[in-house]
Amino acid sequence: MTITITGALGHIGSALIRNLDPKVTRVHLVDNLFTQRYASLFNLPAHPKFIFHETDILSAEMEGIIKNSDAIVHLAAITDAQNSVRNRTLVNRVNKQGVRKLALLAARYRVPLLFPSTTSVYGVQSGLVDENCPQNDLKPQSPYAESKLYGERLLDRLGKSKGLAFVTFRIGTIFGYSIGMRFHTAVNKFIWQVCLGQELTVWKTALHQKRPYCALTDAIAAINHVLGNNLFDREIYNIVTVNSTVSEIIDTIRLYKSNVRIRLTQSPIMNQLSYDVSREKSEKKGFTYTGNLKRGIRETIRKFSGLRNTQMS
């Protein structure tokens, strides 16, 4: 099986390419190096065969790559939700125009597409939510989440009108170490700050609100489950390890770092509700979850062990 992975050097991609389903024999790695994650290409495994393309997903080169692939894992995106408020033009170009171009090519050449959306599309929901939530109740609170909902709806239309085979994941906030990891999301950002002796910057309304989180290992397992079973069934699946409050996350960090200090901040995208996201649908389809918040935090903190005495302002 030959697959294309866009955003291949990022947080999820850099771990995925080291842990792919054995059925994958050839991988087109697509990344424009916008975030300069060159190190993600170091020490790749001998199998499968990797071909790196330093190119933009909107480039003409993508047609030839997709035409010669058996599946696409579309990870390329602008993912910083808070800063997406100030970068709407870039978010629209990469997240909206990008998925549209790839989806149209995928439909033309009959190549199935895996699209990672986000549980942030649930927006102002409350209580337990699942994939059967009415479309009118989806109210994303950032341009990033809006762009992911756009992608979901586009794929649904192309599935019906052009026969596109796809699967959509609504993934919780990712945590866990990878060589290409990012630090602008809650768990990883807190670990970065505490390991550098900084205050944890917490959105004022978020401290006791519950949100969904996903271990990187569970996200990779879910992708491999689709690739290994050809599960491009035009469905949406929540991919979530745990629903947790920010205060619970901070308490877990305190198990390993005693110097936790908190500074409450304002955010333009925070709503006032807590919600749990159900993963029942994915579990019934054979997806498995082995990730653990405590373990993920511990392992990431250990990667910073050499900075344990570092203080930075």
| Domains, in order of start, for the chain | 2-174+213-239 (3.40.50.720), 182-211+242-307 (3.90.25.10)
- Please give the structure tokens belonging to residue 288: 């498995």
Residue 265 phi, psi (nearest 5):
-130, 170
**Residue 255: what pLDDT?**
95
Average pLDDT (104-117) is: 98
**Residue 313: what pLDDT?**
40
- Please give the structure tokens belonging to residue 100: 């549209």
Q: Is the model more confident about 1 or about 125?
A: 1
Q: Nearest 5 degrees, angle CA 12-CA 96-CA 159?
A: 90
Average pLDDT (121-145) is: 83
Q: What is the pLDDT of residues 253-266, one digit of tens each?
A: 999 998 899 998 87
Residue 284 phi, psi (nearest 5):
-65, -20
Percent of the chain with pLDDT over 70: 92
**Residue 204: what pLDDT?**
76
**pLDDT beyond 80 at 127:** no
**pLDDT beyond 70 at 293:** yes
**Residue 51: what pLDDT?**
98
For residue 155, give the H/E element and its range: helix 143-162
Cα separation, 299 vs 297, whole angstroms: 6
**Residue 302: what pLDDT?**
95
Rounded to 10 deg, the angle between the 246-254 and 293-303 helix axes is 50
For residue 116, give the H/E element and its range: strand 113-118
pTM for this model (two decimals) = 0.93
Q: What is the pLDDT of residues 196-249, one digit of tens each?
A: 999 998 877 778 888 899 999 999 999 999 999 999 999 999 999 999 999 999
DSSP annotation of 94 reads I
Give the residue carrying structure tokens 């990431």. Answer: 300
Query: What b/e sequence results for 192-217 when a residue is b if at least 16 CB atoms lie within 10 Å of its CB, and e otherwise?
Result: bbbbebbebebbeebeebbbbbbbbb
**Residue 6: what pLDDT?**
98
Cα separation, 169 vs 286, whole angstroms: 14
Average pLDDT (47-66) is: 97
Average pLDDT (31-48) is: 94
**Among candidates 155, 82, 161, which has minimal Cα distance to 116?**
155
**Residue 206: what pLDDT?**
77
Cα separation, 130 vs 132, whole angstroms: 5
**Residue 265: what pLDDT?**
82
**Residue 258: what pLDDT?**
87
Of the pLDDT bands very low, low, confident and very high (cuts 50, 70, 90), residue 312 is very low
